[in-house]
Amino acid sequence: MKLLIVTGMSGSGKSSIMDVMEDIGYYCIDNIPPKLIPQFVDLCRKSETGIDKIAVAVDIRTGDMFTEIFRAWQTLKSENDVEVKVLFAEANDEVLIKRYKETRRKHPLDDKFSGNMHEAIRYERMQLSQLREIADYFIETSQYSSSQLKEQVKGLFLDNSSDSLSIKIMSFGFKYGVSTEADLVFDVRCLPNPYYIEELRNHTGLEECVREYVMLSEQSQELFARLSELIEFLIPLYIREGKSQLVIAFGCTGGKHRSITFAELMADYLIENNYRVQKYHRDITKDKKLN
């Protein structure tokens, strides 16, 4: 039996994640008291309908009962017939506040902090910090639209086997902030920049003309070769450790040229070596006139 515990910050997109899990065949239940999770799993075991994939959403809404999540997690991890994974959804403070204002919903801790959203979010982060550390999957949703978030979740769990590693290769621009969801971050701003070539400025690393320019230099070729060797060395170690998701990010100034070039080439390289890979270019549509 597979059990996914979906948790994270209020307003980070857990409802959208649960919608996807239901769409791909998981039996889903939202806002369950953590203490009841082992009992719920046991009920599913005994179900005549053969429920073998479950997703439960657990967060700060359960109040004082939330602390029971660690005991429930430990109990289920010790059972041989249950594969337990934790997905943690995150977003930055500004985005969380904006989402609550747009939906006109109250934060679960609104009353506790007399409507002070910043204090409520700070307290929630502190309460969730330990749970974040044990998470098997981490999704930073600040930059995602609803449809993008759903695609990311589908990529993690469709045709997922227990001993496989889902690899996400992404690009980003440092001018928009470093990726906070990445396990490995590589800065490629040291490479030749197509932005300074007028005929390439408005193109991206998805196009051959930009890739050819970036990869024409010996530094780019050697850097790619060395990074490929490093990543190939690391992947089996992550798999042996039991890691379920690996996020590798390449950053340049604006996230349009060099970072996309390296992300695309690395993703294609890993796909050729039979790894399951997702691609995501975080900042490709931003500020089209600038890099």
Which of the four pLDDT bands, split at 50, 70 and 90, describes residue 159?
A: low
CATH, range 2-157: 3.40.50.300
**pLDDT tens string 229-243:** 999 999 988 887 767
CA–CA separation, 277 vs 64, rounded Å? 39
Q: Could you tell me the pLDDT band of residue 162, with boundaries at 50, 70 and 90? A: very low
Of 164, 256, 254, which is closest to residue 205 (Cα–Cα)?
Answer: 256
Domain regions of the chain by residue span: 2-157, 166-281
Query: Average pLDDT for residues 246-260, to the nearest whole number?
Result: 96
Look at 105-119, 160-174, 198-212 and tell me which has the smallest mean pLDDT: 160-174
Q: Is 90 in contact with 138 (CB distance < 8 Å)?
A: yes
Axis crossing angle, helix 218-241 with helix 258-272, rounded to the nearest 10? 50
pLDDT given at position 163: 41
The two most distant CA atoms of the chain are separated, in Å, by: 66
d(CA 93, CA 107): 12
pLDDT tens track for 201-218? 999 999 999 999 999 999
**Run of H or E residues at 135:** none
| CB proximity list for 38: less than 8 A, separation 6 or greater | 72, 75, 76
β-pairing, 2-8 vs 184-187, is unpaired
Task: Kindly report, residue by residue over 45-98, the tens digit of the pLDDT.
Answer: 888 777 889 999 998 888 878 888 988 998 998 888 889 999 999 999 999 999
Residue 73 near residue 5 (C-beta atoms within 8 A): yes
pLDDT category of residue 288 using cuts at 50, 70 and 90: low
| β-bridge mates for residue 255, sequence order | none
pLDDT at position 48 is: 75
Closest of 128, 121, 144 to residue 66, by C-alpha: 128
pLDDT above 90 coverage of the chain, percent: 58
Quick one: which of 106, 31, 38 has its CA closest to 62?
A: 31
- Check if the beta carbon of residue 11 is closer than 8 Å to that of residue 100: yes
